[in-house]
Copies of this chain bind each other. A is one copy, B any other.
Amino acid sequence: MISYLKRVEIMKKINKSRYAILGLLLDKPRSGYEIKQFMLEFTIHFWQESDASIYPMLKTLEVEENVTSKSEFVGRRERTIFEITEAGKNEFLQWLVLPAEEGTRRNEYLLKLFFSANATKEDVIQQLQLRQKSIEESEVRFRNIAENVLSKVSDENDRKLFWTLTLNNGIMHVKAEERWLADCLKMLKK
């Protein structure tokens, strides 16, 4: 229980998976599997966790008494539902108002482009087109979230507003990338 605050003092760099998970549990009780699914639908463009992070972290949070668990049946299927405690809520809220830290920026695509004086023009153009395709896919995914997913979310206490804002962020950056790609292709074909 105690060890967490101690870790913060000593280490500086702490695991943020915990906050992503606590935040979703503050919205409502969920199973590990539901957390995974939710992230795939809503937060994929700015936050993701793998199974191998979620399940162990839920156990850790339970030991720390930040969440409690209970067994529940959906039809005949059993699953473990986790609920946030007051302690967990407090820890989450403390994190929420802290200034966000910037993560390491690593973009392999730009790294390749940076070195592309060593490639043929054809190879560079092919890479750019691959990138265009992957960006288009993101755009489709975003439109899908906007039309099919977010439209079904109820707007208690501005929750939907903030979900929309993060989605908009993704859309803006995708559009910026598209414009930039078009510019690049224009310059290369000269």
Contacts and interface: CB of A to CB of B under 8 A. Distances in A.
A158 interface: yes
Given A100-B127, A118-B26, A179-B172, A113 B162 contact: yes
Interface residues of A, number: 63
A39 to B, nearest CB: 10
Interface string A149-170: 0000000111101110110110
B106 A46 contact: yes
A46 B110 contact: yes
Given A47-B105, A101-B108, 18 more contacts: A16-B108, A23-B111, A43-B111, A44-B105, A47-B107, A47-B111, A48-B104, A48-B105, A92-B115, A96-B123, A97-B127, A99-B127, A100-B112, A100-B130, A114-B162, A116-B162, A169-B180, A172-B177
20 contacts: A26-B115, A43-B111, A43-B114, A46-B110, A47-B106, A47-B111, A48-B106, A92-B115, A92-B118, A96-B112, A97-B119, A99-B127, A100-B109, A113-B162, A113-B166, A115-B162, A116-B162, A117-B156, A169-B177, A173-B176
